[in-house]
Amino acid sequence: MINLIFLTTLLPLLGFLFNGLLGRKIKNAFPDAIGENIIGWIGSSTVGISFLIVLGAFIQTIGLPAEERSNTVNLFSWLSVGGIQIKFAYLVDQLSLTMSLIVTGVGFLIHVYSIGYMRDDKSFWRFFAYLNLFIFAMMNLILGDNFLVLFLGWEGVGLCSYLLIGFWYDRKFEKGTTSQAAKKAFVVNRIGDFGFLLGLFLIYVTFDSLIFKEVFSKASTFPIAESTFGLIALFLFIGATGKSAQIPLFVWLPDAMAGPTPVSALIHAATMVTAGVYMVSRASIIFASAPAVMTIVAIVGLMTAIVAASIGLVQNDIKKVLAYSTVSQLGYMFLAAGVGAFSASIFHVMTHAFFKALLFLGAGSVIHGMHHEQNIQKYGGLKKYMPKTYLTFFIACLAISGVPGLSGFFSKDEILWNAYSNGGFVFWLIGAVTAMLTAFYMFRLLSLTFYGTERFNHHHFHPHESPGVMTIPLIILALLSVIGGYIGLPKVFAGEHGNLFELWLEPIYAPAITKLEMFGAHSHLEELLLMAISVAAALSAIYFALRVYREKPHIAEKISNRFKGLYNLLLNKYFVDEVYEAGVVQPIQKISEKFLWHIFDVKFIDGIVNGVASLVDKSSGVIRKVQTGIAQSYAVIMMVGIAIVLLWLIISL
Amino acid sequence: MSTIPIEYYLILSAFMFCVGVAGVLLRRNAIVVFMCIELMLNSANLTLVTFSSYLGNSIGQVFVFFVMTVAAAEAAVGLAIIIAIFRNKKTVNIDEINIFKW
């Protein structure tokens, strides 16, 4: 099955071509929903088959001894320019298999869900074509065995993200249109990609290769200056901040909620935004060689986690809350990577993919049932109308809040523990506060949506449970959110054989871990104590949120009136968008208009062009007088010429 | 015939050619210019005939017939052009016919 891994990218590509080229015809050829079903199931099955292939490759790889688990599948020679030989090859190893399972597995469920969610959309076929294209690009990103294939996927998912954010291009979104949100995502990502490209150039210059295996083996053996590693790691991390929505480039992700909800679940929560985490984790040896940058990664992750979580406290759009929650959780992943716990960060990628996809799909189910109303202040008491959605959403809330026994608990405490033992007490404290905030805003969201009085207008809204095609993926994801964490039981619970997930990924990170030389001795008692504190904090936050928003909503109002300044600051997202608008966008527009356009372009560029033209015009005005129009004078010149040539010939004889 | 050395013929031919060139470059009347061109052609013919006789090779003389034929045809066309110009411009002075410019 390892050799068939190319099918996991080929099938979604074929699905994209099929639905993209023939989708409209199919939809028109069949009556009612049949056409949509055909399109939807073709789109889903390509991803589903891909998942089975990845699963087969995974089982095959597990059967191999640990040192033979990294296999390269060569496909074809992609670029051959001078000394540069780039092969289009896939690397099938523990890390790429883990990510592939997440992407194709969760991707398949979201595809199936979309059949229900996108029902009767006029561009149903276009949606599935884009989704398949996204899976194609994402699988290339994950499976590529060199930085160039990774970059191909990296740009591909960016394109799909852009296309899908602006999918409903004719709809309004907040103050603008969805196209503006799509553009914002694209442009902000471009800034990150620029850093990523610089990193790639520097890698090529330093290691003379772009293939992972060669680069990383050279990185761990060759004597290379720490400053070089630092620059490469920093550039790569800039790329990651763009794609994975970290400070300072996180502003695009909340706006990305303009896209349909399955897109938010698939691209902007479960898969694409974790590409940065994957890349950092893949290049772990480079980051481990630059301790200063590791600290930057950890601090940026931590800052993002708490800033985004605090914004999430007061947002009223159901998807906005989840978007900031995603940013915050991504911050957690970078915190883990920054303190050297790469496997913990990937573990959190996985559990987060389960419960965040579930949360988004649940939110989608609510939005679907509420006729596209997204304001949680206008929900309330939906529990009895949508029991399945409520139950799965409730499980996801428990999981993300880190309630013991669910997946989120294991991955989050793994990260917090590593932050404490490798980073320090402050890292742990901020992380734990973030976890508390997370628990609070999730249960605020849950209470406002499903509990309390019904605040919607019964004449306009008729809440209803979503069809089975939507609720079954929810149930599967809820199951995964519960049990997903047990493959990564921390040592303190698992006993002898330790953390299975960490053990599985260990060969990938072994060089980086040896270089970092950390993991000081800490007692299990300490770990349990910290765990107990963070769980207690989360549980009290849950209790507080339920109590306030379920039973005494007026308290929330009182508190927000009391701290009006802080409340407005959070409600307006720390005015980051406004600051960027005033500090970056406006100056660039002003400079472009006043200087680059009116002065540089009009005066300088046009001056050169027009100057050359008028120079030619003037000088030819003088020279043309030579043409008298009298044939005899031409003949004279011709004769003189012939005479000179003859003279020269005679002399040279 | 054999008493006259070849140089005489060649010098005469060169002289005729120079007269022709001077006429083409200096005279204003188009018909005179035209006649000067004929003079240059005939000086070339004379050279061909001279060398033909000198080398005992008849190819040069055959060539002269061709040149004469072409010259006759060219004379017809050239004179026709001059007549056409005269009809339009009422002159055959070539320094007055200077429309061949910007």
Radius of gyration of chain A (CA): 30
The reply to whether residue A635 touches residue B95, judged by beta carbons under 8 angstroms, is no
Whether B25 sits inside 8 A of A627 (CB atoms) is no
Q: Mean pLDDT, to the nearest integer, of A8-20?
A: 94
**Residue A476 contacts residue A424 (beta carbons within 8 Å):** no
What local confidence, expressed as pLDDT, does residue A554 receive?
Answer: 80
Mean pLDDT for chain A? Answer: 90
Nearest to A632 among B25, B99, B102 (CB): B25
Q: How far from A122 is each of A119, A457, A468, B99, CA to CA, in Å?
A: 9, 28, 22, 70
pLDDT value of position A494: 67
Query: Looking at this protein, which amino acid is placed at residue A278?
Result: Y
For A218, A497, B22, the CA distances from A215, given in Å and listed in that order, are 5, 32, 83
How far is Cα A614 from Cα A325, in angstroms, rounded to an integer?
Answer: 62
| Amino acid, single-letter form, for residue B87 | R
**For residues A37-66, average pLDDT:** 92
CA-nearest residue to B94 within chain A is: A630
Contact in structure between A379 and A456 (CB atoms under 8 Å): yes
Contact B21 A639 (CB under 8 A): yes
DSSP per-residue letters across A286-316: HHHT-HHHHHHHHHHHHHHHHHHHHHHTT--
Q: For the purposes of burial, counting CB atoms within 10 Å of the CB of A335, is it exposed (0-12), middle (13-18) or buried (19 or more)? A: buried
Burial class (CB in 10 A: 0-12, 13-18, 19+), A566: middle
Q: Which residue has the higher pLDDT, A106 or A84?
A: A106
* Token duo for residue A432: 């734990």
Smallest CA–CA distance from A633 into chain B, residue? B25
Residue A299 near residue A239, CB atoms below 8 Å: no
Q: A247, A270, A268: which is closest to A259 by C-alpha?
A: A268
pLDDT at A573: 85
- Based on C-alpha coordinates, what's the Rg of chain B? 17
The angle at the Cα of A113, spanning A109 to A114, to the nearest 5 degrees, equals 120
The Cα B86–Cα A509 span in angstroms is 99
Express as a percent the part of chain A with pLDDT over 70: 98
Closest C-alpha to A286, from A327, A237, A232: A232
Query: With 0-12 CB in 10 A as exposed, 13-18 as middle and 19+ as buried, what is A604?
Result: exposed
Which tens digits make up the pLDDT trace of A128-150? 999 999 999 999 999 999 999 99
Query: What distance in Å separates the CA atoms of residue B7 and residue B14, rounded to the nearest whole number?
Result: 10
Residue B92 to chain A, least CA–CA distance (Å)? 13
Q: Does residue A604 have a pLDDT over 70?
A: yes
Q: What is the pLDDT of residues A367-410, one digit of tens each?
A: 988 888 888 888 888 888 899 999 999 999 999 998 988 999 99
CB atoms within 10 A of CB A28: 10
Contacts of A635 in chain B (CB under 8 A): 24-25
CA distance A652 to chain B (A): 23
Cβ-count burial of A218 within 10 angstroms (0-12 exposed, 13-18 middle, 19+ buried)? middle
**3-state class of A266 per DSSP?**
helix
- From A641's Cα to the closest Cα of chain B, the distance in A is 14
State yes or no: pLDDT of A520 exceeds 60: no
Is the confidence at residue A153, as pLDDT, over 60? yes
DSSP labels for A420-459? IIII-HHHHHHHHHHHHHHHHHHHHHHHHHHSS---S-TT
d(CA A436, CA A445): 14
| Beta-carbon separation of A630 and B24 below 8 A | no
- The count of other CB atoms within 10 Å of the CB of residue A32 is 8
The percent of residues in chain A predicted with pLDDT above 90, rounded, is: 58
The torsion of the CA quartet A133, A134, A135, A139, rounded to 10 degrees, works out to: 110
Q: What's chain B look like in SS3? A: CCCCCHHHHHHHHHHHHHHHHHHHHHCCEHHHHHHHHHHHHHHHHHHHHHHHHHHCCCHHHHHHHHHHHHHHHHHHHHHHHHHHHHHHHCCCECCCCCCCCC
CB contacts, 8 Å: A629 with chain B: 98-102
Say which amino acid occupies B102. Answer: W
What's the gap in Å between the CA of A621 and the closest CA on chain B? 10
Selection from A62-66, A106-110, A568-572 with the highest mean pLDDT? A106-110
pLDDT at A68 over 70: yes
Q: Which residues of A touch B26 (CB under 8 A)?
A: 632
Q: Do B24 and A632 touch (CB under 8 A)?
A: yes
Query: Left if phi > 0, otherwise alpha if psi is -120 to 50, otherwise beta: which for A616?
Result: alpha
List phi, psi (to 5°) of A74.
-80, 135
Q: Is the peptide bond before A248 cis (omega within 30 degrees of 0)?
A: yes
CB contact under 8 A, B101 and A629: yes
Q: Kindly determine whether residue B95 and residue A629, on different chains, have CB atoms separated by under 8 Å.
A: no
| Set of chain A residues whose Cβ sits within 8 Å of the Cβ of B18 | none
pLDDT at A163: 94
**Whole-angstrom distance, CA of residue A70 vs CA of residue A161:** 30
Residues of B within an 8 Å Cβ radius of A: 21, 24-26, 33, 94-95, 97-102
Q: Could you read off the pLDDT of A630-644 as tens digits, one per residue?
A: 888 888 899 999 999
State how far the Cα of A529 lies from the Cα of A147, in Å rounded to an integer: 42
Place of tokens 């740009």: A155
Minimal-distance CA residue of chain B relative to A623: B102
Mean pLDDT of all residues in A52-64: 93
Inform me whether the pLDDT recorded for A645 exceeds 80.
yes
Q: Which of B34, B89, B102 to mutate to test the interface with A (most CBs of A within 10 A)?
A: B102
Evaluate whether A433 touches A306 at the Cβ level (below 8 Å): yes
How many CB pairs below 8 Å do chains A and B form together?
30
ipTM of the assembly?
Answer: 0.81
Tokens of A104: 């194709």
What is the predicted pLDDT for the residue at A462?
A: 84
For residue A492, pLDDT over 80 is answered with no
Report, as an integer, the average pLDDT of A273-285.
93
Residue A624 pLDDT level (bands cut at 50, 70, 90):
confident
C-alpha B59/C-alpha A608 separation (Å) is 63
What does the pLDDT look like over A559-591, one tens digit per residue?
888 888 888 888 888 888 889 889 888 999 999
**Residue in B with minimal Cα distance to A638:** B25
Q: Which residues of B touch A631 (CB under 8 A)?
A: 94, 97, 100
**Cross-strand bridge partners of residue A91:** A72
**Roughly what angle, to the nearest 10 degrees, separates helices A631-652 and B6-26?**
140
Say how many Å lie between the first and final Cα of chain B, rounded: 55
Residue A80: its H or E element? strand A71-81
Return the amino acid letter for A504: W
Q: Is the pLDDT of residue A530 over 80?
A: yes
Query: Which residues of A lie inside 8 Å of B (Cβ-Cβ)?
Result: 624, 627-632, 635-636, 639
Residue contact B95–A636, C-beta within 8 A: no
Interchain contact, A628 vs B94, CB within 8 Å:
no
Q: Is A630–B102 a contact, with Cβ atoms under 8 angstroms apart?
A: no
Domain ranges of chain B: 6-89
Place of tokens 């508390």: A436
The helix/strand/coil state of A19 is helix
Residue written as token pair 């996927």: A153
Model confidence over A409-449: pLDDT tens digits? Answer: 999 988 998 898 888 889 999 999 999 999 999 999 999 99
Chain B residue numbers with beta carbons less than 8 Å from the beta carbon of A639 are: 21, 25
Range of lowest pLDDT (A185-199, A227-241, A314-328, A512-526)? A512-526
Chain centre distance of CA A536 = 31
Identity at A238, one-letter amino acid code: I
The top-scoring range by mean pLDDT among A168-177, A216-225, A292-301 is A292-301
The C-alpha atoms of residue A633 and residue A639 are separated, in whole angstroms, by 10
Cα atoms in the Cβ-side hemisphere of radius 13 Å centred on A203: 29
C-alpha distance from B31 to closest chain A C-alpha (Å): 14
- In the block, tokens 């529990």 appear at A383
User: Chain A partners of B94 at a C-beta cutoff of 8 Å?
Assistant: 630-632
Helix, strand and coil content of chain A, in percent to the nearest 5, comes to: 80, 5, 15
Q: Tokens 């001056």 correspond to what residue?
A: A607
In chain A, residues with a C-beta closer than 8 Å to the C-beta of B78 are none
The yes/no answer on whether domain B6-89 falls in CATH 1.10.287.3510 is yes
| Strand duo A176-177 + A84-92: pairing | unpaired
Cα gap A320→A326, rounded to integer Å: 10
Q: Under a CB-based contact definition with an 8 Å cutoff, are residues A472 and A480 in contact?
A: no
Q: How close, in Å, is residue A653 to chain B by CA atoms? A: 21
Closest to A61 (Cα-Cα) out of A480, A488, A511, A504: A504
Q: What is the pLDDT of residue B2?
A: 58
Q: Quick one: pLDDT at residue A465?
A: 87
DSSP-based three-state secondary structure for A380: coil
pLDDT one digit per residue (tens) for chain B, 102 residues: 557 888 999 999 999 999 999 999 988 899 999 999 999 999 999 999 999 988 988 999 999 999 999 999 999 999 999 999 899 888 888 888 877 665
Quick check: A245 and A274 in contact, CB under 8 A? no
What CA–CA distance (Å, rounded) separates A185 from A255? 8
Q: Of A627, A631, A639, which is closest to B94 when you measure between CB atoms?
A: A631
The helix (H) or strand (E) run that includes residue A348 is helix A342-369
By CA distance, what is A622's nearest residue in B? B102
Decide: A301 and A333 in contact? Cβ < 8 Å.
Answer: yes
> What does the alpha-carbon distance between residue A622 and residue A205 come to, in Å, rounded to a whole number?
55
- DSSP code, position A87: E
What confidence category does residue A352 fall into, taking pLDDT thresholds of 50, 70 and 90? very high
